[in-house]
Structure 1
């Protein structure tokens, strides 16, 4: 703050009896408090979407920070006057100019405000991937090495296709599992695979050793086939990773 560039601020206006120096800094106090915050925390409190100093009005421009007209610690008064009509706005440019004045380096990148829909879709994507992982784990535990799941553009319920299974009872159990895991994705499964299918496949094969993933799109009935398969069951590997391994080593 007290660099050579700002020589006019380097001479104290007054020295107290205890020897403390007091300075007069001719700056806008509302903007300057962001500079003080930087010296306290090492960070500039940049404007966030629907978040400003006024205390709760969320419809102000996202490139401004609210500035309450009240000072002091009377929180009730501050809340009363913290409305759009009783606030002054500090622009991001004002803060950047103040940073330049005090020679504070600008950040290399600005914080990114992520919209709520983006976060909601990301959460839905995670849930879809977790269902695929659960499905693969379940079929492997039932000694099934291959399953295809169909997701339709017309929002029909996803369906399972068990190529290597002839037993109707097994098919019924797996179909119930697929319904339980994926019925919530009837509306979005096709869209998720259309947008993120390749990334999902790479992620699953990296995180689930032994998984083979194949995504195929049908053009006549507008659907995606997700094929989950694994290598032939490793009998010795199962024993070695079970409680029986300890018994055999006794």
Structure 2
């Protein structure tokens, strides 16, 4: 038997609130879930919200203490209960219309990952939950994932630049959806191998880069400048050519920090037996003698 417990803590409260938030166990097709009655009654127009309303408690049949059996899909019910708890569906749609839980949730074997879209819709209809939330959640999640992929690609470009000891790049995303134009500013745009590596990362976003920057340019700038230390971004619209220009700059590669993140310092520590310290004077001693 699989048991899943709600971690919600009702805290200190009077006896009336304790009664209202009394814990119940829902045995759904052999999978047990522990939650609070108030979690369910927060949605009074749904099946469980109606079932556990005060006026209907006397009609319910308990199978074991405060346990109630429901003959439905126990693994799909994970998503049903998450909707009651959060008001959202915590799933993402993979290839083949397979619904899988997001990272960070409890694992319930392999069966939960095999719940199809049709099965989930059937369970939502049975429990009288708004089925349109599936479509809404899927649409916004798809767009959000593309935006995330775009930002991760920019981070990867910065990694490529730093690994080649370059510090600035300009990427022009065109409205006509042609391939982005890339200029390695710090190399005089002569490093064709480096450009090819960047193009490989950026090219998949050529059709949407213009739209993403026109809509979320400021948010992308704030995110990357806060997450990647020492990096600045500028996003501007080039009216004459009708494209969005993104310039990213690494504000100098600090030699000491580069050394601290290289195997050189590790080897020095092992060879000399000296404890490694993030100390500029010590580094200069090792390097220059």
**Distance in 2 between the 1:141 and 1:184 partners?**
22
Change (3 A) 1:159 1:40: closer
Aligned position for 1:217:
237
Does the aligned pair in 1 maintain the 2:170–2:247 contact within 8 Å?
A: yes
Flag the structure with more relative contact order, 1 or 2, with Cα contacts below 8 A and sequence separation at least 6.
1
Alpha-carbon deviation of 1:150?
A: 0.7
Aligned position for 2:26:
37
Alpha-carbon deviation of 1:177?
A: 1.9
Secondary structure at the aligned position of 1:187 is classed as coil
Are residue 201 (structure 1) and residue 221 (structure 2) matched? yes
Aligned position for 1:71:
none
Are residue 230 (structure 1) and residue 230 (structure 2) matched? no
Alpha-carbon deviation of 1:181?
A: 0.8
**Distance in 1 between the 2:238 and 2:140 partners?**
28
Aligned position for 1:4:
none
Structure 2: give runs of 5+ residues left out of the alignment: 1-23, 58-83, 90-132, 273-289
Structure 1: give runs of 5+ residues left out of the alignment: 1-34, 47-62, 64-90
Structure-to-structure mapping, 1:58-69, within 5 angstroms: none
Does the aligned pair in 2 maintain the 1:213–1:226 contact within 8 Å?
A: yes
Q: 1:134 aligns with which of 134, 156, 160?
A: 156
Are residue 145 (structure 1) and residue 167 (structure 2) matched? yes
**Distance in 2 between the 1:134 and 1:222 partners?**
26
TM-score, structure 1 normalization:
0.58
| Aligned pairs, number | 170
Secondary structure at the aligned position of 1:232 is classed as coil
Alpha-carbon deviation of 1:247?
A: 3.4
Alpha-carbon deviation of 1:100?
A: 3.3
Alpha-carbon deviation of 1:237?
A: 1.9
Q: 1:162 aligns with which of 152, 160, 184?
A: 184
Aligned position for 1:110:
87
